[in-house]
Amino acid sequence: MFDQILFFFNALLQQTGAANFTFGNLVMIAIGGTMIYLAIAKHYEPLLLIGIGFSCIVANVPGPPDVPGGPPVSALLYVVKEGGLFHYAYEGVAKLIIPPLIFLGVGAMTDFGPMIANPKLVILGAGAHLGIFVALILAKLCGFTINEAGAIGIIGGADGPMAIFVTVKLAPHLLGPISVAAYSYMALMPMIQPPVMRLLTNPAERKIEMAQIRKVSKLEKIVFPAVIAIIVNLFFPPVAPLITMLMLGNLLKEVGVTERLAKTAGGALMNIIIIILTVAIGSTMAADKFLNWDTILIVVLGLLAFLFGTASGVVTAKIMNLFMKVKINPLIGSAGIASVPIAARVSHIVANQENPHNHLIFHAMGPNLAGVFGTAISGGIMLALLGVN
């Protein structure tokens, strides 16, 4: 009888996740916990990190095997499986439904005035993308195919939806690790960028105050989305769905007669999309899939892409200063990496720490918004050169 009780207890234990818990699960739970800590304690992009961190934790709590003798399946992965809610959430990401909707929301929330007001600074939106190409070449040297290397490189564009979009086109099997790396580093930019920015500038440069930007009229703001949509659709059809939606969202905001739609696109719809996106991304972080050399390489290359992108943005701004009568603060160069408005906020904070009277946020928003187009252009050219539509 004792043997029977022991047998049933053992059978019961096998039906739980406890028997299948691995060291890798523990590592990933610690990573998820760190993300939540950074979101709560340091306020590092809580909208992204809470969802990703929580679903990363749950994805690493193993459940019983799906089939007798098979690998353990986490409770979260049960809902990710076909028929479950997050299966369709992930499909929304993988089938490129969610990225254009994110761009619609971003457009509806964004004032492109700082970019229109100072066209000279738009060049920083290209200058800060050296990281894309450094990561691309290094990824190729590490043995990835050129399509995989291109998808890894685009992490350096610091634009989550664009990284997803290009990855699905070039290397869909890498969607999980690339989206995790892109969104995690975007959220961690307040930690990643400042050391590079300080290393490449001296205190005098960081103290440079910039003149107030001109006021942009309503007419200019209404014409802007249509002009950009025409240019992008004409020259970069591969990335047109994203930029078209970005510009539609912005037009809804600027015209003034569609306030309800703009509020929905940038508010409720955006919030729903963020919840779905973060859980879909975090649910790909199960230890057995995530803790392998390819993923670790992608995470390291993504970090290098961010570091080189930040550095090249600052250096481009310093080169521009050689030719400009009125100097710009080189800290705004790093904002050209995209990741709106995180990178612009970082530029502002670093400058403000050096000179409390310096408010760079509006100046940094110009290159920051140009960075969105810079990433789209780089991604579009990459897709075209690799023969992908």
Site string for other proteins, 86-125 (x = CB under 8 A): -----------------------------xx--xx-xx-x
DSSP label at residue 70: S
Regarding 235 and contact with other proteins (CB under 8 A), the answer is: yes
Phi, psi (5° rounding) for residue 72?
A: -70, 145
Q: In the numeric block, which tokens belong to residue 190?
A: 């307040």
Strand, coil or helix: 291: coil
Q: Which stretch binds other proteins (CB under 8 A): 40-48, 61-69, 218-226, 276-284?
A: 218-226
Shortest Cβ 155–other proteins spacing (Å): 14
Regarding 198 and contact with other proteins (CB under 8 A), the answer is: no
Number of residues that bind other proteins (CB under 8 A): 53
CB-based burial label for 162 (10 Å; 0-12, 13-18, 19+): buried
Q: Which of 6, 231, 268, 272 binds other proteins (CB under 8 A)?
A: 231
Regarding 330 and contact with other proteins (CB under 8 A), the answer is: no
DSSP β-bridge partners for residue 72: 65
Q: Which of 5, 67, 219, 234 binds other proteins (CB under 8 A)?
A: 219
Shortest Cβ 292–other proteins spacing (Å): 22
Give the amino acid at 239.
V
Q: Which CB sits closer to other proteins, 149 or 331?
A: 149
Q: Which stretch binds other proteins (CB under 8 A): 73-81, 95-103, 187-195, 249-257?
A: 249-257
Residue 49 · residue 187 · CB < 8 Å: yes
CA atoms of 303 and 286, how far apart (whole Å): 21
Shortest Cβ 264–other proteins spacing (Å): 12
Q: Which CB sits closer to other proteins, 347 or 375?
A: 375
DSSP label at residue 72: B
HEC string of 82-121 equals CCCHHHHHHHHHHCCCHHHHHHHHHHHHCCCHHHHHCHHH
Quick one: CA torsion of 348, 266, 110, 186, rounded to 10 degrees?
40
Binding residues for other proteins (CB under 8 A):
115-116, 119-120, 122-123, 125-127, 129-130, 132-133, 136-137, 139-141, 145-147, 149-150, 153, 214, 216-220, 222-224, 227-228, 231, 235, 255-260, 370, 373-374, 377-378, 381-382, 385-387
